[in-house]
Structure 1
Amino acid sequence: MVRVAPAPAMDEVTFKSDTVLSDVHLYTPNQRHLMVRLNGMGQPVFLSQFKLLWHRDSWTDSGVTCGDHGDAHAEKTPLAGAGTTGSPPGSSLRSKDFSPPAWARSTGQEGVGARLDEDGDLDVVRRPRADSDPDPSGPLRDKVHPTILTQEEDVMEDAAQESSLHRVIKIEHTMATPLEDVGKQVWRGALLLADYILSQRDLFRGCTVLELGAGTGLASIVAATVAQTVYCTDVGADLLAMCQRNVALNSHLTATGGGVVKVKELDWLKDNLCTDPEVPFSWSEEEVSDLYNHTTILLAAEVFYDEDLTDALFRTLSRLAHKLKRACTVILSVEKRLNFTLRHLDVTCDAYDHFRSCLHQLEKPLSGRTRFVVEPVEASFPQRLVYERIRQLELWKMVAEPVT
């Protein structure tokens, strides 16, 4: 008798890669880095606060009042970093809602396009050194000095005071993880997706939303400020526990819109949802029924870095669209990352190319099944979160339609 080995789960897939660091965490201002605890894997967990920047006439329908238009989110300010191309630091936010930080204004970095030296090489502009730097001979970059807090109550008290003045999203995350743990970091694609949600409130209002590969849960939390129910899904008990903590940290935001975030396990490599009550973050029968009967929007951000997992995600999208009782809209956020590979001896973006190939395949209807109408989304909507909206960040919208 031939035994067939069971397919591995998403959190059991082994990647051949070095440690990676999100651009959101790569460069930061000289402010406190709040390391609050170690997670179950022994990794340090940080708490960052992301300010929501409002226009004074916006969102009056939800009771949101205008706060101070700060020049950055409280703990992390994303800048251009290694492995990225696009505009220099400070050029990402160009609306009247936001005034560039003082360092960007003083160095004239509001312009668009890369700076080149007299030989035509890329001229990387570093942030100016702080006046208080005791070592002026060192490299021209900010230093990271994590503040380790011994009492979690200190963090919660500080965060509560901050949220009383501003609309703040509080996110626990890790930094510099192996590739299999990248979901524990905050990525620009999630911030772009969150901006899109904030700009399309009528699309999300009162809906049931499913996010695939939610990571830290930032986009799901933002969606719950408008949607009725958000199923925030990923795999791995440690990651899902972090995501659950983030949902609890931001209950002040979701309560405003009346939305509920439910953190659940959803493995793209498995055909069925886990309903075993003994398994953490499993689904109840009622939740499975609600998912299939009411979901109209599916989300995914920055999950297209491995070809096998990308294939699994698109199979999951097709399977879900076929099972959902209502027509659904899918919003995908992706960053086109350029890498020099020895295999090609050239700059390539294999993961992105594979993503586009999967999009193209999804447009081809199968007999008796659902087809998708695919279109890019122009990133011209207002920017409510502070990050560098480079041209390599893309949004794609897909509307599922039955094949006639």
Structure 2
Amino acid sequence: MAGDREEDEEDLVCLDASFFINDNYQLTKFTFGSQVLELYCLQSASTDFDLTGQLVWPGAMLLNEYLSKNVDLLRGCSVIELGSGVGITGILCSRFCCEVVLTDHNDEVLKILQKNIELHSSSKSYRNCTGLVAEKLEWGNIDQIEHILESHSAGFDLILGADICFQQASVPLLFKTVKLLLQMKGKGRCKFILAYVSRAKMMDSMVVNEATQHGMKIAEVPGTRSVVGNLEGTIYEVNL
């Protein structure tokens, strides 16, 4: 028996967490209306499901197209983005906003997010990008939310989210976080713009129901429903 255990132990392979991390980022160009962005991202998903933020998702394309056509929404605003990933939406916003806080919960994703912030903050081509900062934020984490509330005590004019509803367990935490951020500015003075991509009917109804259950009004922005990446997407506005 002891010999069998020794053989079993010899067969065990201990893999470092870095084995699952793909950091082969490529500088990629994106165009939204008259705005051209370059940033580092993956071209395909990582092995680890939790690292989905390393590439640009269809919902981010949808949101950026919408924002590029409605830049007056952004001018002079303070913005926080939830689930920023590589930062493609926040970086676009920084060309028009006075402050942009990009957030993600994953440490590896935060590394590439910070790299893209540094790229746009230091390059002469992107001098108009101002007020870009990255913060760690896990939805529902009161300590992290309070840190952001204290660091940005004036609140935000806009909360943004792109393609961030694909895990059922995370949706209640998302809207809990959104509500706290909306309350910070006061009723009617801040709104949550969500670029939603439909992948399951259950999630479609869950997003609307969770917003309602958290005391918020959610409405589809007319004319924004379109096909992105072979999936149907739309823009929602959420208010207290």
Q: Aligning the two structures, in what range does the TM-score lie when normalised by the shorter sequence? A: 0.7 to 0.9
Q: Partners in 1 of 2:60 and 2:39 — Cα distance?
A: 14
What displacement does 1:359 show?
2.9
Tell me which of 252, 259, 267 is aligned to 2:130. Answer: 259
Q: Partners in 1 of 2:235 and 2:32 — Cα distance?
A: 21
Change (3 A) 1:41 1:264: farther
What displacement does 1:247 show?
1.5
The residue aligned with 1:395 is 235
Q: Which has the higher strand share?
A: 2
The residue aligned with 1:237 is 107
The residue aligned with 1:197 is 67
Q: Partners in 1 of 2:55 and 2:25 — Cα distance?
A: 10
The residue aligned with 1:359 is 211
Q: Aligned-pair RMSD on alpha carbons?
A: 2.8
What displacement does 1:203 show?
1.4
* Amino acid across the alignment from 2:232: Q
The residue aligned with 1:52 is 31
TM-score normalised by structure 2 residue count: 0.79
Q: Partners in 1 of 2:165 and 2:37 — Cα distance?
A: 28
The residue aligned with 2:175 is 314
* Amino acid across the alignment from 1:45: N
What displacement does 1:250 show?
2.7
* Amino acid across the alignment from 2:71: R
Indicate if the aligned counterparts of 2:85 and 2:113 stay in contact, CA closer than 8 A.
yes
Indicate if the aligned counterparts of 1:213 and 1:301 stay in contact, CA closer than 8 A.
yes
* Amino acid across the alignment from 1:392: E
The residue aligned with 1:328 is 190
TM-score normalised by structure 1 residue count: 0.49
Deviations 1:12-63 (A, max 9, x none): xxxxxxxxxxxxxxxxxxxxxxxxxxx78541422142332546xxxxxxxx
The residue aligned with 1:273 is 144
Change (3 A) 1:208 1:290: farther
What displacement does 1:325 show?
5.1
Question: Does residue 375 of structure 1 match 2:219?
Answer: yes
Q: Partners in 2 of 1:41 and 1:390 — Cα distance?
A: 28
Change (3 A) 1:213 1:380: closer
Q: Partners in 1 of 2:110 and 2:19 — Cα distance?
A: 11
Indicate if the aligned counterparts of 2:197 and 2:233 stay in contact, CA closer than 8 A.
yes
Indicate if the aligned counterparts of 2:224 and 2:235 stay in contact, CA closer than 8 A.
no
Indicate if the aligned counterparts of 1:265 and 1:274 stay in contact, CA closer than 8 A.
no
Indicate if the aligned counterparts of 1:208 and 1:291 stay in contact, CA closer than 8 A.
no
Q: Partners in 1 of 2:105 and 2:231 — Cα distance?
A: 30
What displacement does 1:222 show?
0.7
What displacement does 1:265 show?
0.5
The 3-state SS of whatever aligns with 2:154 is: helix
Q: Partners in 2 of 1:53 and 1:196 — Cα distance?
A: 9
Change (3 A) 1:379 1:214: farther
Deviations 1:47-92 (A, max 9, x none): 142332546xxxxxxxx8xxxxxxxxxxxxxxxxxxxxxxxxxxxx
The residue aligned with 1:249 is 119
Deviations 1:209-242 (A, max 9, x none): 0001111111111111111110000112211011
The residue aligned with 1:211 is 81
What displacement does 1:311 show?
0.8
Indicate if the aligned counterparts of 2:33 and 2:68 stay in contact, CA closer than 8 A.
no
Deviations 1:95-133 (A, max 9, x none): xxxxxxxxxxxxxxxxxxxxxxxxxxxxxxxxxxxxxxx
**Which runs of no fewer than 5 residues in structure 2 stay unpaired?**
1-17
* Amino acid across the alignment from 2:184: K
The 3-state SS of whatever aligns with 1:300 is: strand
Q: Partners in 1 of 2:151 and 2:29 — Cα distance?
A: 31
**Which runs of no fewer than 5 residues in structure 1 stay unpaired?**
1-38, 56-63, 65-166, 276-282, 339-348, 366-371
The residue aligned with 1:173 is 42
* Amino acid across the alignment from 1:270: N
| Higher relative contact order structure (alpha carbons within 8 Å, sequence separation ≥ 6) | 1
What displacement does 1:380 show?
4.9
Deviations 1:239-298 (A, max 9, x none): 101101112223346522x522101111113112278xxxxxxx6xxx644523141100
Deviations 1:362-385 (A, max 9, x none): 4xx4xxxxxx3321013459x9xx
- Of structures 1 and 2, the larger Rg is shown by 1
